[in-house]
Structures are given as C-alpha cells and as structure tokens.
Structure 1
Amino acid sequence: MAKVRFHDTNEYLTGDDVISFLESQGIIYEHWGVDRLDENLRNNYSPTDEEKQQILAAFKPEIDSISQRRGYLTADIIVLSDQTPNLDELLVKFKNEHHHTDDECRFCVDGHGIFAIKGQDGRYFDAELEPGDLISVPPNYRHYFTLMDDRKIKAIRLFVTPAGWEAIY
C-alpha cells in the first residue's frame, strides 16, 4: 500500500491514513493488487506488445470502472528501468514540476514510483507507490514524478486525451 511523506517534516502516513489524506486532497487512490498476474508479466521490464496487452486485459474490469467514473478513453503501459535508454535524462525531465489539464492516472504494476505533489494548502508531499497502487492526480495540481531506489516501474497510464496529459511547466 502507498505511503505519504511530507517534505517539510519527513513525517509519514501509512494505511488508512493515506487514503483519508489523499481523499482530503481530491486525489483518487485505489489498491487493485497484482496477484492475478503471472510472475513473468510482473518482473519483466522489456515486455512485448502482446505482454502489455495481457497486462491491460488482466485489469480490464478495474480500468473500465475507473474509466467510466473519470472519462478515461485510452490506456497504455509505460516501463522505466535501467534497461530504458537515457533513463537518467528522462528522470531529470520528469522531476521538473508541472501540471496537466487532465488527470494524471497511473496504476503501478511493478517497481516503485513517487509522485511529489503540491497539496491544496501549498504543502508538498510524496505519494510513494508500490505494486498494486493506483493514483489519479487531478488537473492543474503541481507535481513531478521520480523513481524510488530500485529505479524501475511498470505502470498502466490512463488518459482522457493525450493532449490533456501534456506537461505544462
């Protein structure tokens, strides 16, 4: 389950406190789990197009449910790891604070990631994602993304429109 860490105090929230806090910030958090996936789909950081489709198919009920609620029209898979060309350059780019005109919705299939988010009160916090966690950062929230120490993540991205997901720095 995700954790929340506040930048100013290094205080952590865990368990149900994470859900309550993120909800108070207008951020959707769900835990879908990943137990239904074969091990080769979880720990593979160079999946084929067919394997990506298998991952999307495994979570189709959840994807359909949140898409109906939030208006998401497309889903794809993003993979970042030490196998990713120019990973360090991408991480520098991702750490630039920005916002989007649509939700930024991610479901962590494997690995770990951090969304650093400027809260409604101006206080910054990290939402630290583990496999099975879904987060949807609302439109116009200032944030950035980075990886945790394992330097890898495989995630499902959900979009309303690709244009609405473009970063505004």
Structure 2
Amino acid sequence: MAEIRIRKTNEIISGEENVRNFLNQFEVIYEHWDVNKLPAHLQENFSLTDDQKAEVLATFDTEIKDLVARRGYRTWDVITLSEATPNIEELLAKFEQIHTHTEDEIRAIVGGAGTFVIKGSDEIGYFDVNLLPGDLISVPENTVHFFTLTDDRKVVAIRLFVEENGWIAHPFEDPSFQKA
C-alpha cells in the first residue's frame, strides 16, 4: 500500500483512504489493483521478455480498458527497471530531474517499488509517494515531479499515454528543490 512522506516535516501518511484523500487535494489519482492475479512466473520477475510484458498487459486488460475509457489514453506498455537494465544509472539520472509533462504521467506498479516525488502547495512543499505492487498513481499534466526507484532498485510498471510517442519531459528549475 502506498505511503506518503512530506519532506518539510517528515510526516508520514499511510492507509489507502488517507493516501487517496491527501493526493486528491493535488488532483493526483490513486487507485489500488489486485496484483495477486499476476501469474507466479511474472511475480518478482524484473527481466521480462516482450512476450511476458504482453502477458502482464493481458492480465490487467480490464483495469487498463477502464482507465482508457475514463481518461482517454491511447497506448500503454510495461517498463522494467533493475540492476540488469542496461544503462540503469543514465536512466535514473534522467528520471531524477524535476520536470513537467503536457499529459498525465501514470504508473501502475505490478512488481517491486518506486517513488514519485511531487511538488505540492507552498505550504506542503515536496512529498514522496512510495508505491508498492498494486498501487496506481496518475500525476496530472503540468505538475512538477519525478519518478525514481527505491533502495531495492527494481520495478515493473504499466504506463499509459495519450501521446503515442510517450511523455516528453519539460525541465523545471526550482532552487527550493533538494534531493532526499
């Protein structure tokens, strides 16, 4: 289940409803999927083949189609990141720059863990949304954020896009931002 840490105060927000209510104030969508339906050979597998990625998508076809109907996404894929990923350090360096997009950035974590760092109001500041298998988050367009891996450095996530070429990051300069 997702957990939020407010960076200014180190306050922790946990529990599905508390997390959802906190994120709602920033128009961030939070949902929870049942990852237990994922076949055993795909659980904790962080080096998926293209066929296995297709199987992950097929497993969550109903949930994906529901999001497509509600939010207008046109394409989706599965991303796997781990120590086995070529150029993992370069990818993480790219991901870990605060930025915005002109469309929602959505991830459904189906294996491993990841963290979205999101800029809230001036009062709240930046907060970390730590995501575990089953957590889905959609960060609204033009919201300052970035995504990174947890210390375990492995994740399998479903991503959905409006633009068929995926998200385009627009760097955001914020002198108040400090990496954790």
Q: TM-score range by the shorter chain?
A: over 0.9
Structure 2: give runs of 5+ residues left out of the alignment: 172-180
Shift of 1:163: 4.8
1:10 matched to which residue of 2? 10
Identical-residue share of aligned pairs (%): 53
Alignment of 1:80-91 (within 5 A): 80-91=81-92
Deviations 1:93-120 (A, max 9, x none): 1110000000001000100000000014
Structure 2 CA distance for aligned equivalents of residues 134 and 41 of structure 1: 18
User: Which deviates more, 115-124 or 92-101?
Assistant: 115-124
Please give the secondary structure, in 1, of the residue aligned with 2:47: coil
Between Structure 1 and Structure 2, how many residues are aligned?
A: 169
Structure 2 CA distance for aligned equivalents of residues 57 and 25 of structure 1: 31
Structure 2 CA distance for aligned equivalents of residues 12 and 27 of structure 1: 17
2:66 matched to which residue of 1? 65
Matched, 1:47 2:48: yes
Structure 1 CA distance for aligned equivalents of residues 121 and 72 of structure 2: 23
Please give the secondary structure, in 2, of the residue aligned with 1:43: coil
Structure 1: give runs of 5+ residues left out of the alignment: none
Give the alignment's Cα RMSD to 1 decimal.
1.2
- Matched to 2:7, the amino acid is H
What TM-score does the superposition give when structure 2 sets the normalisation length? 0.90
Structure 1 CA distance for aligned equivalents of residues 91 and 111 of structure 2: 19
Structure 1 CA distance for aligned equivalents of residues 36 and 165 of structure 2: 33
Structure 1 CA distance for aligned equivalents of residues 21 and 143 of structure 2: 18
Is contact 2:74–2:164 with CA below 8 Å preserved after alignment? no
Is contact 1:102–1:164 with CA below 8 Å preserved after alignment? no
1:151 matched to which residue of 2? 153
Structure 1 CA distance for aligned equivalents of residues 120 and 14 of structure 2: 17
